[in-house]
Copies of this chain bind each other. A is one copy, B any other.
Amino acid sequence: MSEQQLYELHASICQTLANPKRLEIITHLRDGEKTVGELTEAMQISQANLSQHLALMRQKGIVVSRREGLNIYYRLSNPKIIKACDLMRQVLLENLESGAVLVETARA
């Protein structure tokens, strides 16, 4: 496994976190597993679109799922994901406080 490949995989994980809805999913899974239905109710998103995001996160190893009857439960694959997200949010908040970042509706 080359350094290059590691950087690509690492970037691929970041890419998976680089979406507001997916970050919100992570927040909802922070305290334990949830079904797709629960997530759909808790979030402002269509079931189909939620499923798309979950599929991507599953592919990248961010979440894992298990079926129980009709329901499918999702959970984070690794608690370090929460830590990483928290750290990035801290960076964000500190940048906001120091006025280092203009709030340009997020994507400029």
Contacts and interface: CB of A to CB of B under 8 A. Distances in A.
Interface of A is mostly: helix
A18 B20 contact: no
A42 B24 CA distance: 37
Contacts of A101: 9, 60-61
A4 interface: yes
Interface residues of A, number: 48
10 contacts: A8-B107, A11-B22, A12-B106, A14-B18, A14-B19, A14-B88, A17-B18, A18-B18, A61-B100, A84-B91
Interface of A: 1, 4-15, 17-24, 59-61, 64, 77-78, 80-81, 83-85, 87-92, 94-96, 100-101, 103, 105-108
